[in-house]
Chain A
Amino acid sequence: GAVVSQHPSWVICKSGTSVKIECRSLDFQATTMFWYRQFPKQSLMLMATSNEGSKATYEQGVEKDKFLINHASLTLSTLTVTSAHPEDSSFYICSARRAGGRVGSQPQHFGDGTRLSIL
């Protein structure tokens, strides 16, 4: 159990276009989902925390208008990179945390990531 599906796994697009990445918890309800960005050979950088039915909480330095996050249901969160440019090229990873238990005591379950390449 605890499978998270992230789609697409790889996307290449032209500069200026918007790209939407989906993150779905397939067999559990996730009140909280997280979006990370990872540069080559670096650790994950938390971009934002997404709570179902409310606005996402963005980390310092992450542009809210650039990276739009929607968490409309307990099983789906989306990240839209608006007007993407080459510097937005990166590996984006989502994770979902099952509801219940002490806050933060549940592990995160990760998607397989999305490789975004902006030409």
Chain B
Amino acid sequence: AQSVTQLDSHVSVSEGTPVLLRCNYSSSYSPSLFWYVQHPNKGLQLLLKYTSAATLVKGINGFEAEFKKSETSFHLTKPSAHMSDAAEYFCVVEGDMRFGAGTRLTVKP
């Protein structure tokens, strides 16, 4: 069975600095992987997805993630944080509709 682990429950950065949200997956093959963002009192929005094409995936709002099979990782990054990026972020592996705890991103002015 596939699963993911988000290594940080809370990440705090200053506006304009890089963002790194970590996600490790467990799977017997190279699965599809997704990052979602949830703003307060809202549903989830798909940021990006990896589906065995290019290992570096670009998403919306300047986010990108790199699939690294050797490290079983799919970390989410953004070069420069914006205040509007403050939200909850979820990493999800294909076939697993259960969500982990997520990572709360705080952006300080």
Contact = CB atoms under 8 A, between A and B. Distances in A.
Contacts of B94: 102, 104-105
Interface of A: 2, 4, 6, 34, 36, 43-46, 49, 91, 93, 95, 102-105, 107-113, 115
The 9 closest A-B pairs by CB, nearest first: A104-B95, A110-B43, A104-B94, A105-B32, A110-B44, A44-B99, A112-B43, A113-B43, A43-B99
A103 B46 CA distance: 18
Interface of B: 31-32, 34, 36, 41-46, 49, 51, 90, 92, 94-102
Chain A interface, >50% SS class: strand
B42 A113 contact: yes
A43 B89 CA distance: 10
Contact of B46 (A36, A45, A105, A109): A109
B32 A34 contact: no
A95 to B, nearest CB: 7
Contact of A107 (B46, B99, B102): B46
Contacts of A4: 43
A99 to B, nearest CB: 15
12 contacts: A43-B100, A44-B99, A49-B97, A93-B44, A95-B43, A104-B96, A105-B31, A107-B32, A108-B44, A111-B43, A113-B42, A113-B43
A113 B34 CA distance: 20
B74 to A, nearest CB: 14
Contact of B32 (A93, A102, A115): A102
Contact of A34 (B36, B46, B97): B97
Given A43-B102, A102-B32, A108 B45 contact: no
A43 B101 contact: yes
A43 B32 CA distance: 21
B65 to A, nearest CB: 13
Given A43-B101, A46-B99, A108-B97, A115 B44 contact: no
